[in-house]
């Protein structure tokens, strides 16, 4: 499956894992990369440049294939901007194949020198965005590729509430750099559809969470198989208004409490203990899915098994090839 994304990253299949805090660690990243898809090492798992360096080295012990490093550029107490700059410098020093930026653009958030620094080091930089406007900005300031994520996605979709189905062809028409489609991707049909819409591949995270190698508690696997496409909700619109974002998470007891606090105009000091990443970290391990804000996408409704990543990727490619063979429209550019 050759596309502009497989060529850009030097991978076999146009399938990338998205950043996943506490989940996208060396073992999962390497397992995905070993299938010929692109694993993700999420820098937010680490508290220092040295920890990220060690994680890059560990991933390289487990795979000799390319993987991407996610740097989430959002204001954070645990991950101050100077640490995010250090993460970017580590990626350049280690010459990882690519960096996935999610959040504010590198040029404005980290500094103008950072994209040229990556180019100098031979590291590709991709920006995950939620609007056409942000994709156009990414191309203008020199990113090598862009991921467009519709509001189906788990995590922090843009507040505009536009679906992947509409965004992918719009971005395809607006930029000429390679494009990944994200939000709602779960299988080979999704991949074939994304290619037909003009993407060069897919990025997905919820589906990779539901694989043996993600290493979450058995109760979480059960939740992922049982929940439907109607079991996630968009929230935190007030808290995240300044960033143009919101969160999509699994509906549960904590999200009900959060909704109540938000609707009553509660402040950050009440919300922070409920939305903390620490809570989520504990839940992935101990399995009580009611206890934390769990960023999960609508694609959870399309998950009914927990395969190995090798089985998942092999099945996706087979299904996508079959779907493409069975006849999708070919467009004259």
Ligand X SMILES: Cc1cc2nc3c(=O)[nH]c(=O)nc-3n(C[C@H](O)[C@H](O)[C@H](O)COP(=O)(O)O)c2cc1C
* Rounded-to-integer distance, Cα 112 and Cα 141, Å: 9
> Could you tell me the smallest distance in angstroms from the CB atom of residue 331 to ligand X?
25
> Could you tell me the smallest distance in angstroms from the CB atom of residue 332 to ligand X?
31
Nearer to ligand X, 137 or 248 (CB): 248
Query: Does 297 help bind ligand X (rule: CB under 6 A)?
Result: yes
Query: Does 90 help bind ligand X (rule: CB under 6 A)?
Result: no
**Chosen residue from 185, 193, 194, 289 binding ligand X by CB under 6 A:** 185
> Could you tell me the smallest distance in angstroms from the CB atom of residue 272 to ligand X?
17
Near ligand X by CB under 6 A, which window of 8-16, 84-92, 153-161, 231-239?
A: 153-161
Query: Does 171 help bind ligand X (rule: CB under 6 A)?
Result: no
Among candidate residues 8, 193, 62, 232, the one with its CA nearest the CA of residue 182: 193
Residue 162 CB neighbours (<10 A): 18
Query: Does 187 help bind ligand X (rule: CB under 6 A)?
Result: no
Near ligand X by CB under 6 A, which window of 27-35, 176-184, 239-247, 264-272?
A: 176-184
Nearer to ligand X, 80 or 122 (CB): 80
Query: Does 224 help bind ligand X (rule: CB under 6 A)?
Result: no
Near ligand X by CB under 6 A, which window of 26-34, 199-207, 232-240, 260-268?
A: 199-207
Query: Does 39 help bind ligand X (rule: CB under 6 A)?
Result: no
> Could you tell me the smallest distance in angstroms from the CB atom of residue 312 to ligand X?
12
Structure tokens at 162: 């536009």
Query: Does 152 help bind ligand X (rule: CB under 6 A)?
Result: yes
Place of tokens 């969160």: 247
Decide if 204 contacts 17 (C-beta within 8 A): yes
Apex CA 296: angle with CA 291 and CA 300, to 5°? 115
**Chosen residue from 23, 55, 68, 191 binding ligand X by CB under 6 A:** 23
Nearer to ligand X, 212 or 266 (CB): 212
Per-residue binder mask for ligand X (CB under 6 A), 96-135, x = binder: ------x-------------------------x-------
Query: Does 168 help bind ligand X (rule: CB under 6 A)?
Result: no
Nearer to ligand X, 49 or 266 (CB): 49
Query: Does 206 help bind ligand X (rule: CB under 6 A)?
Result: yes
Of residues 256 through 295, those in contact with ligand X by CB under 6 A are 295
**Chosen residue from 11, 32, 168, 204 binding ligand X by CB under 6 A:** 204
Binding site for ligand X (CB under 6 A): 18-21, 23, 42, 44, 70, 72, 102, 128, 149, 152-155, 182-185, 204-207, 209, 295-297, 299
């Amino acid at each position: 499956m050759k596309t502009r994304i497989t060529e850009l990253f030097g991978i076999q299949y146009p399938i990338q894992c998205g950043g996943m805090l506490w989940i996208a660690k060396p073992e999962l990243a390497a397992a995905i990369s070993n299938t010929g898809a692109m694993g993700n090492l999420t820098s937010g798992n680490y508290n220092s440049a040295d920890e990220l360096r060690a994680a890059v080295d560990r991933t390289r012990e487990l795979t000799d294939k390319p993987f991407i490093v996610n740097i989430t550029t959002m204001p954070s107490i645990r991950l101050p901007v100077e640490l995010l700059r250090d993460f970017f410098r580590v990626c350049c020093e280690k010459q990882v194949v690519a960096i996935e930026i999610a959040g504010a653009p590198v040029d404005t958030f980290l500094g103008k020198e950072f994209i040229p620094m990556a180019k100098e080091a031979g590291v590709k930089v991709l920006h995950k965005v939620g609007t056409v406007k942000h994709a156009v900005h990414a191309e203008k300031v020199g990113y090598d590729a862009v991921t467009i994520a519709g509001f189906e996605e788990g995590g922090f979709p843009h507040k505009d509430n536009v679906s992947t189905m509409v965004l992918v062809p719009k971005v395809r028409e607006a930029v000429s750099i390679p494009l990944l489609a994200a939000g709602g991707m779960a299988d080979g049909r999704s991949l074939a559809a994304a290619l037909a819409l003009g993407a060069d591949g897919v990025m997905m995270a919820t589906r990779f969470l539901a694989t043996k190698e993600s290493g979450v508690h058995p109760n979480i696997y059960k939740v992922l198989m049982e929940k439907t496409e109607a079991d996630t909700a968009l929230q935190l619109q007030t808290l995240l208004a300044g960033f143009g974002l919101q969160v999509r998470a699994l509906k549960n007891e904590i999200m009900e409490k959060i909704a109540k606090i938000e609707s009553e105009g509660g402040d950050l000091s009440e919300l922070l203990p409920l939305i903390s990443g620490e809570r989520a970290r504990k839940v992935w391990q101990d399995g009580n899915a009611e206890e934390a804000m769990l960023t999960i996408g609508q694609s959870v409704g399309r998950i009914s098994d927990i395969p190995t990543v090798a089985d998942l990727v092999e099945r996706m490619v087979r299904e996508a090839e079959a779907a493409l063979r069975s006849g999708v429209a070919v467009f004259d550019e």
